[in-house]
A = this chain, B = another copy of it.
Amino acid sequence: MPRRNAPSSIIRRLPVYLRILDNLIKKDVEIISSRTLSSQTGFTAEQIRKDLAFFGAFGTRGTGYNAVYLREKLLKIIGLDKETNVIVVGAGDMGKAFGRYNITKNPYIRVVGMFDVNPEEIGKEVEDLIIEKLDKIPEVIKKYNVRVAILTVPAREAQSVVDQLINEGITAILNFAPTKINVPDTVHVHNTDLTIDLQSLIYYTSTEEKTLI
């Protein structure tokens, strides 16, 4: 059966389900209903059933899903059934936060390299990582078979770094650089722009007249 890519809206929800399953399994919960998933995620039970059915997972009516089984299947679907190696390019505050991610946040993802252009940063340690020059990127990508990069460089450097990363085999980029980056169709980018997030929030706190006239 050929691979069928799910809509990105579904893909975004799968890790949310995974996190809740992780927590429930830690509490020895064995069966989980779509209603429980709903109350913990805020998505409707119907949406959740549809999402899981997309991948062929059907709960038992009136009972629910086997938690351990569903978790394992989700890990496999997302691609987290084996540890995924990622690199961080840009060792500012945000980059360093990801460098410390290994030991704090996540059993499925491992940061295997951190890179910067600033000579003052190169050689510094961030947990078990040493910040290296950008020209070490190809070596690390090859050694750890890296396909995912977290990009936390300034806007003006973003595109040239991205071009280099793609050239070295990166196919997914979590982009924090506050700019649009151009990539071929084969590369997937998720833009996370914290300034935009914050500014658009401020709209909701304002009681000013919302018109240009």
Contacts and interface: CB of A to CB of B under 8 A. Distances in A.
A29 interface: no
Integer count of this chain's copies in the complex: 2
Interface residues of A, number: 73
A36 to B, nearest CB: 13
Contacts of A194: 98, 174, 192
Main secondary structure of the interface of A (DSSP, over half): mixed
Interface in A51-92: 52, 55-57, 73, 76-81, 84, 86, 92
A213 B54 CA distance: 11
Contacts of A174: 194, 197-198, 201
A139 interface: no
Interface of A: 1, 3-6, 8, 11-12, 14-16, 18-19, 40-42, 52, 55-57, 73, 76-81, 84, 86, 92-94, 96-98, 100, 105-106, 108-109, 147-148, 150, 171-174, 178, 180, 188, 190, 192-213
